C-alpha cells in the first residue's frame, strides 16, 4: 500500500493517510487501500486498538477536487464510484470491533471531517482547523457527517457548520464535542499513542460490545428494545476470559490483566 500506510506494533495498528503533497485528499486509490486496511485490522485478532492519522501538515483535506475537475465530463460516474468506496470504509471504521483513535492536526476538511467523526476518540492538536468545505463546491456533506453532526452538536449548529462553511479551531471543536481532547501539536503523537496503549491493554470484547450498543442506540425502537440488546451483550461479555479476570481482580483488590479474550 502507498496511499495508506499500515504499521502494526504489538496490539496497536496505525493507519496513516499518505498523500501529504495534496493534504491527503481522497482519490480512488486511497479509498480502495483504506478499505483493505480497515478490513485487515478489523480481522486481525492481534490488533486491539487502531490509530488513524494523516501524513504531512494536515489530517485530510477531503476529496481530491483536482480529480473531479479532470473528470468533469463523467463526474457522476466518478463521484458515484468514489463515494461508494469511501462510505464502505467509513462504515468499517464505525463498526470496527476495537477502539479507533484519530490523531487530528492541521487542516481537516470535507471527507476528513467525516473520517474524524467516525473514529471513537478524537484527539486534536491545537493547530487543527475544521472546515466542512462542501458548500464551497456546491454539494453536500458525506461520510456520515449529516448523520453524526446533528446527533453530536444539534440540528441548528450542524446546519451552521455545513451551510456557512466557516472554519473552526480545535478549541471550538472541543467545546462542541467534535473532539475529545486538544493537546499541543508537539504532544499529539505521544498522547494518541498513550490512549491507544490504554485501549490495547483493556477488555477488547467489552469495548466492541459497548461501541456496538452506542451505535445501535441511534436506531433503537425504544428503551425496552435496547435493554434487550444490552442484556444479550452483557451475556456475551460474561463468557469472556477478560470478564472472569475482571471479576477476580475486583474481589482480590488488584489491577486486572486483560488479554483481549
How far is residue 245's CA from residue 215's CA, in Å, rounded to a whole number?
27
Helix (H) or strand (E) holding 79: helix 75-94
How far is residue 110's CA from residue 27's CA, in Å, rounded to a whole number?
13
CATH topology of domain 4-200: 2-enoyl-CoA Hydratase; Chain A, domain 1 (3.90.226)
pLDDT (tens digit per residue) in 50-78: 999 999 999 999 999 999 999 999 999 99
Count of helices and strands (H, E) across the chain: 11, 9
Burial class of 232 by CB neighbour count within 10 A (0 to 12, 13 to 18, 19+): exposed
pLDDT, residue 1, reads: 62
User: Which residue is it, cell 441511534?
Assistant: 218
What does each of the 261 residues of the chain score in pLDDT, given as a tens digit?
Answer: 699 999 999 999 999 999 999 999 999 999 999 999 999 999 999 999 999 999 999 999 999 999 999 999 999 999 999 999 999 999 999 999 999 999 999 999 999 999 999 999 999 999 999 999 999 999 999 999 999 999 999 999 999 999 999 999 999 999 999 999 999 999 999 999 999 999 999 999 999 999 999 999 999 999 999 999 999 999 999 999 999 999 999 999 999 999 999
pLDDT (tens digit per residue) in 208-222: 999 999 999 999 999
Which residues, at least 6 apart from 124, have a Cβ–Cβ distance to it below 8 Å?
A: 104, 105, 170, 173, 174, 179, 181, 182, 183, 188
Burial 169-185 (b: 16+ CB within 10 A, else e): ebeebbebebbeebbee
Q: Is 63 helix (H, G, I), strand (E, B) or coil?
A: strand
Q: Is 218 helix (H, G, I), strand (E, B) or coil?
A: coil
Cell representation of residue 198: 490504554
Q: Which region, left, alpha or beta, applies to residue 90 given φ > 0 means left and ψ of -120 to 50 means alpha?
A: alpha
Amino acid at each position: 500500500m502507498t496511499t495508506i500506510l499500515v504499521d502494526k506494533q504489538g496490539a496497536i495498528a496505525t493507519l496513516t493517510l499518505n498523500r501529504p503533497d495534496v493534504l491527503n485528499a481522497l482519490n480512488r486509490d486511497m479509498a480502495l487501500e483504506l478499505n483493505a486496511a480497515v478490513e485487515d485490522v478489523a480481522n486481525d485478532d492481534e490488533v486491539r486498538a487502531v490509530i488513524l492519522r494523516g501524513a504531512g501538515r494536515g489530517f485530510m483535506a477531503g476529496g481530491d477536487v483536482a480529480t473531479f475537475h479532470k473528470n468533469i465530463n463523467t463526474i457522476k460516474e466518478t463521484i458515484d464510484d468514489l463515494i461508494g468506496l469511501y462510505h464502505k470504509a467509513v462504515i468499517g471504521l464505525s463498526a470496527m470491533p476495537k477502539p479507533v483513535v484519530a490523531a487530528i492536526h492541521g487542516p481537516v476538511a470535507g471527507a476528513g471531517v467525516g473520517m474524524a467523526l467516525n473514529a471513537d476518540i478524537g484527539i486534536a492538536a491545537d493547530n487543527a482547523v475544521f472546515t466542512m468545505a462542501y458548500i464551497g463546491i456546491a454539494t453536500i456533506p458525506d461520510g456520515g457527517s449529516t448523520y453524526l453532526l446533528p446527533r453530536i452538536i444539534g440540528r441548528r449548529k450542524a446546519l451552521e457548520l455545513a451551510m456557512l462553511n466557516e472554519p473552526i479551531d480545535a478549541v471550538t471543536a472541543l467545546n462542541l464535542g467534535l473532539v475529545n481532547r486538544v493537546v499541543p501539536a508537539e504532544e499529539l503523537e505521544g498522547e494518541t499513542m498513550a490512549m491507544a496503549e490504554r485501549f490495547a491493554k483493556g477488555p477488547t470484547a467489552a469495548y466492541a460490545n459497548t461501541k456496538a450498543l452506542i451505535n445501535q442506540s441511534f436506531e433503537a425502537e425504544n428503551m425496552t428494545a435496547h435493554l434487550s440488546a444490552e442484556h444479550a451483550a452483557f451475556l456475551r461479555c460474561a463468557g469472556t476470559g477478560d470478564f472472569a479476570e475482571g471479576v477476580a481482580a475486583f474481589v482480590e483488590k488488584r489491577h486486572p490483566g486483560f488479554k483481549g479474550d
